Amino acid sequence: MKKVIDGKLYDTEKATKIADYWNGLGADDFRYVFEELYVTAKGNYFLFGEGGAMTEYSVSCGNNSWSGSDNIISLTREEAYKWLENREQTEAIIEYFSDFIEEA
């Protein structure tokens, strides 16, 4: 998928995938969520996500009805780190954000 945001082209085929998340539900479930975190060659982070009608990826279909969709969302480096932390992606944090963590 490709999307231009603020004059920058985000392309899932050209960027490096850091991690992904799936909530375990089937694609036909209204609460289904699948997300992939990417970094571009220039160091910009973005999230490709898709989800059902009861998720942040829902779109209005008119007449008070909703449908699932997909989207690309640009993230700051800090937002990308928080996304990884919230989804317990420890290995990706160690590989890409070692400067954010310290030994306990």
Considering the domain boundaries, does residue 22 fall inside one? yes
**Residue 44 is assigned to a structural domain of this protein:** yes
- Give the confidence band of 101 by pLDDT, cuts at 50, 70, 90: very high
Amino acid at 101: I
Residue 103 in domain: no
101 lies in some domain: no
Residue 67 lies in a domain: yes
Asked, for residue 97, whether it belongs to a domain, the answer is no
Q: What percent of the chain has pLDDT over 70?
A: 100
pLDDT, tens digit, for every residue of 39-87?
999 999 999 999 999 999 999 998 889 999 999 999 999 999 999 999 9
Residue 93 lies in a domain: no
Domain span at residue 19? 2-87
Whether 98 maps to a domain, the answer reads no
Q: How far apart are CA 70 and CA 27, in angstroms?
A: 12
